[in-house]
Structure 1
């Protein structure tokens, strides 16, 4: 089982890193990952774009954003392969049942989407960030 335990940070190595937002699955379960970013019209409270799903096997990483990060906060939601929440937070946003890109949030169910609670990730304005999802302590 997973906890909401997330470690985050940027990795330092001798090689130049490509700026990106990555998620590494250190749990024992295959995870389905969705992310959310502010949309182009950031003035509106519901102006987020959600995207999914990335499937990340145990002890694997996935690059979710392949460019330098332009915003301090990104949002992540994860389920296991049975649909049980594995990583969630307090930010309500929309997700689809299959691969999706959803612009504008709100009224998820009325629009044919599912409600999900995303975890806010503070990248501290770094251009490269990695989230680590770890298993629940025994």
Structure 2
């Protein structure tokens, strides 16, 4: 069962991050303060769901890799540490701040600067999750390595 839980939780986390990014960028491009506020509120309230998905990915990945992972499994574990650190140090505080700022002050230069950092950090996590998914498919034998040229 753990072999199914791990990829499903990973896909759910990736989908949530894509949704956060798409909604954020769309709201920013619209210029509508009401839409920006709604998106920031939605992201803030959906963060616990993303956290559960990522904890499930981390725990199931640790169980699948065993106590001393090597090679690709170790790289996946190292990536997960970066994803978690990025989330806890940058993304969660940014989400809380941006929600507060949108509700109280509105969109100003400070909001936009933090928003830019959040977008870059979110896209970074998305790339890291994508690479881990690719490596997971390789480990499971569902994806072959490209031959060297």
The TM-score with structure 1 as length reference comes to 0.27
TM-score by length of 2: 0.26
Greater share of helix residues, 1 or 2? 2
Which one has a bigger Cα radius of gyration? Answer: 2
